[in-house]
Chain A
């Protein structure tokens, strides 16, 4: 088992900002773990623009935004980046077990920042009736298939939920030559940013069905259609409002949930509804020296905000390490 001053789990926008900030605040022994083959996390599949408007005062794509941080990190000797490193176990004394291809590593950290991001809610979490054919994807998975793997998941899509990833994917399907029959949102308003409603739906005349739900998925082996119904104030289906949209693909974009199983394993209580750590103060947990930042702490609308608050996590970790007497006990 090795020992480190600071271990950071996750090399996306949160982990990279935390690492840079911890270094700038004097920490010189930092291990940054990333499960993928590259730094950047989800930014690498977010090929659209709109990142960095607050942080860099210009509109960058996800990969460009990631690169700004990644290049700085690779230049700093005090930050060790370990790719293809998948964290699997965390104990309350901040000993972390992680897998690298062909081996298991253990590291004891004086301070630890969890920057593990979030994952998508699934069809199962929103209870859609009907069959279970092929052709149902979370929006982020479809994004990865198209932008990273070069695979188009379908030719005619309906999108459930108007979260930003769903809106972005509506446009992405159109730009890849597929059709999008509509976006179905149960709430009165889009959940996504206005700029995405404008640039991803209105620009391409894609209908947004507000106050509607998908009442049934149809199709045996592959999605063939979805039934859509209007809902009333109690979220009940309005009788007679049902109509059918033929499609071969259903994308589900109904929200994100922080990925916090490792800190839970270490004994940090999580909010049952939001999956955020239950403790007072930004990026804090009840375990001294254990911090959580970015979308693992709470789901942010903008990568820029993730970076800003994660800089703070890096500073807090540095303060804990350099002035341990002032740390939260």
Chain B
């Protein structure tokens, strides 16, 4: 089976043409760099995304702490993970990169803050 899709690793957006056999990628054409091949394989065999969202903060300088998964998670579990993030709150001051939840939902990625959010000092 042949599948055509656009690489989204960078803004160039190469048109990839991947040959698929039994759910596995056997060949790809159209990529202008090696990242395209990795992307095509991932997209076919195990599509994954970085999830970003926000968590309400209490007693901190900002109302919302922006967060991300520090690596990609399975695309099929994005909505479930987003729903879980909506239940979270935090009152802990954080620095960008600091872990908010380790191995979030067992997805193999930590949920980390993406901005410095200190305590709210009057």
Contact = CB atoms under 8 A, between A and B. Distances in A.
Given A67-B96, A147-B54, A47 B114 contact: yes
Given A44-B115, A177-B86, A203 B75 contact: yes
A166 B83 CA distance: 21
Interface in A56-86: 59, 61, 63-64, 67
Contacts of B83: 177
The contact size tier of chain A is 20 to 34
A53 B115 contact: no
Contact of B66 (A61, A194, A203, A301): A61
B23 interface: no
Interface string B59-82: 000111011100000010011001
A285 to B, nearest CB: 29
A191 interface: no
Given A194-B6, A195-B11, A148 B52 contact: no
Task: Indicate the size class of the contact surface on chain B.
Answer: 20 to 34
Contacts, number: 78
24 contacts: A44-B115, A47-B53, A47-B54, A47-B114, A49-B52, A53-B9, A53-B11, A64-B114, A147-B54, A147-B66, A148-B64, A149-B63, A150-B54, A150-B56, A175-B85, A176-B53, A177-B83, A193-B11, A193-B13, A194-B8, A194-B13, A198-B5, A198-B8, A302-B11
Given A63-B96, A199-B8, A49 B75 contact: no
Interface in A179-211: 193-195, 198-199, 203
Interface of A: 44, 47-49, 53-54, 59, 61, 63-64, 67, 146-150, 174-177, 193-195, 198-199, 203, 301-302
Contacts of A199: 8, 49
